Amino acid sequence: MVRQLARCGVRHVVICPGSRSTPLVLAVASEPGMRPLLHVDERAAGYFALGIARQSGRPVAVVSTSGTAAANLLPAAVEASLSRVPLLLLTADRPPELRGVGAPQAIDQLRLFGEHARWSAEAPCAPAEGEAPEALLAHARQLGARAVEAAAGPPAGSVHLNLPFREPLVAADGDPERLAAAAAEAVTLLPPPARAPLLPPSGEIQALAAESAGRRGVLVCGPASPELPVAAIVRLAAALGWPVLADALSGLRRASADDGVIWTYDAILREPSTAERLAPEIVIRFGAQPTSKPLATWLARLHRGGALREYVVDEADGWRDPSASAAQLRSEPGAFADALAAASGGAPSGDGGWLACWREADAIAGEALDAGLAAIDARGEPFEGLAAQVLAEALPEGGTLVCGNSMPVRDVDGFVPALGRRLRIVGTRGASGIDGVASTAAGAALAAAERSEGPVGLLVGDLSFLHDLTGLWAVGRHDLSLAVVLLHNDGGGIFHFLPQREALPGLFEPWFGTPAGLDAARAAALFGGRHAALPPRAAEMREAVAAAVGSPGLSVLELRTHRDRNVELHRELWAGVAASLRAARVGAATGR
């Protein structure tokens, strides 16, 4: 089975220690095409594997022993399936006769991950002495091939293979390589699965091209793994004459404003009159639900008014439409974009003034944000949005920025412009939990180093950092380099933007603000990392972040901020954008 996994492209296997998984460990260790990687915490190990898989684009396996060790893989299984990352969960188990009878470390592991696994199966136990093993070997080969195919999708996600083992767990002759060679001789491996890109019928493409001609529309690009096809979507935008509202996690911010990419839409859509004048008639969305709440609110309002047609392009069977208002087009995004661009004639079919209005609004909003950030910098106030921008700017071509959830990903979305260069920005937005972020970044760092890509930086809040401290263990264990910018506001900063802040004054701080008292310097030292305070002023901040990004090992740069003041600074910036947009009256001259 392990050899078939390798044949199908599985190279990395994260192994958590345990006795019952001994046969799996021996098989992986003796497979020359695999790289076994140790991790001591199953929950962190799952995210570590997920980070490797996301960065490399290949399925990664995790091996655990039985019991709660296996159960700790659930959070990563959920995230992998919702964010569409191929992850194989190989859980060792007690044999059937030891289940449900009080045997130690034996829980019900059948379908342990429920519907969060794309596919689940249990392997049979090894044959009794004297039984012919050929059929069992063929079944093991098939399990490996099916597991990789199911994990690869579409949609990609987690797959669970439960593997019960009877004692003895070590071969009698102590020679796993001989057993592996015997298995290879007994069964011919299956070829890796392959799929052609999925396209909707040509009639649907032609109909959509006709509907889009001369209409005001936008392309919305949400988070995606792997990243969306930048060149194809830019070509489609040019053919239609439409702007591209690009979520930071979509990959489209590798393009530039010249390509029609709009990065300030979160701030633009907070100004009601401008948002109304920029209302489209058609929306075509690629990727998952975008991070921006103003964008989601704007689209929902347009749907309620009955003036909007929305299409979601997705090659998988998942239903990514929280608004319950969009038509689903089953297609691979790049193939769809090229087909629709060709059907549209290859020249802009829309109103040229429409795209110009969006570009004008984007330029005005960008200038207002720059002016607001400069004012904050001049006062010497620490601001989390500036740290997000500085880290993105410090990472070179080919680098990777991993975003924590809650405020970090929103600050990246709101303050990191379309850079026009190859910077990968990723996050765990499948389930949007604060867990596993450091482990995901460590996995990304490992895969990036193997592929000779650029450095990896992590932008994370203090609660998320605390939640996944064992993720930092992997950085030292596997000799990785990771630059962490820690936004430390001593609690859950995002709740200060929500109604609970004003509605529950007596209960808010202990139950929502949740100050944890994290000592980041000691946490970094615990795992052999360097720690330094991050200066609040932009020039010194850039110097410190650039040095950390270029350094080996673990670097933690800590920016101390205040939660209430952070809200005030965000609102100050948004108000500046709104005032500039109102003064410019973008779109008013065209009657919109």
pLDDT tens digits along 350-394: 567 999 999 999 999 999 999 999 999 999 999 999 999 999 999
Range with the poorest average pLDDT among 205-219, 341-355, 503-517: 341-355
pLDDT digits (tens, 9 = 90+) for 186-197: 567 888 777 777
What is the dotted CATH code of the domain comprising 2-186? 3.40.50.970
The 3-state secondary structure of 131-175, one letter per residue? CCCHHHHHHHHHHHHHHHHHHHCCCCCEEEEEEECCCCCCCCCCC
- Matching residue, tokens 């996050």: 427
Q: What is the mean pLDDT of the chain?
A: 92
25: which residues sit within 8 A by CB, 6+ positions away? Answer: 15, 36, 63
The beta strands (E) that lie in 322-435 are given as: 327-329, 400-403, 424-427
What value does the CA radius of gyration of the chain take, rounded to a whole number of Å? 26
Which range has the worst mean pLDDT, 235-249, 316-330, 360-374?
316-330
pLDDT at 449: 96
Q: What is the pLDDT of residue 14?
A: 99
Q: How confident is the model at residue 178 (pLDDT cuts 50, 70, 90)?
A: low
Domain spans of the chain, in order of start: 2-186, 209-347, 380-576
Q: Work out the percent of the chain whose per-residue pLDDT is above 90.
A: 76
- Phi first, then psi: what are they for 38, rounded to 5°? -80, 140
- Let me know if the fold of 2-186 is the same as that of 380-576: yes
Question: Which residues have a Cβ under 8 Å from the Cβ of 115 and sit 6 or more positions away?
Answer: none
Using one digit for the tens of pLDDT, what is the confidence trace for 392-411? 999 999 999 999 999 999 99
For 157-170, what is the mean pLDDT? 92
Q: Residue 349: is its pLDDT beyond 60?
A: no
| Predicted TM-score of the model (pTM) | 0.93
Structure-model confidence comparison of residues 496 and 569, the more confident one: 569
CATH class of residue range 209-347: alpha beta
> In CATH, which of 3.40.50.970, 3.90.1010.20, 3.30.70.420, 3.40.190.10 is domain 380-576?
3.40.50.970
> Which are the contacts of 570, defined by CB distance < 8 A and separation ≥ 6?
385, 497
For residue 199, the model assigns a pLDDT of 82
Asked if pLDDT for residue 500 goes beyond 80, the answer is yes
Q: Do 284 and 326 meet the contact criterion of CB atoms below 8 Å apart?
A: no
Cα–Cα distance between 303 and 309 in angstroms, integer?
8
Structure tokens at 285: 């969305």
State whether the Cα torsion 528-15-56-386 is positive or negative: negative
Q: Tell me which of 318-322, 391-395, 406-410, 553-557 is least confident.
A: 318-322
| Residue type, position 262, single letter | I
pLDDT in tens, 70-87: 999 999 999 999 999 999
Per the document, the length of the chain is 592
CA triplet 18, 471, 147: central angle to 5 degrees? 55
pLDDT higher at 96 or 250: 250
Q: Are 85 and 55 in contact (CB under 8 A)?
A: no
Work out the average pLDDT over 492-521: 90
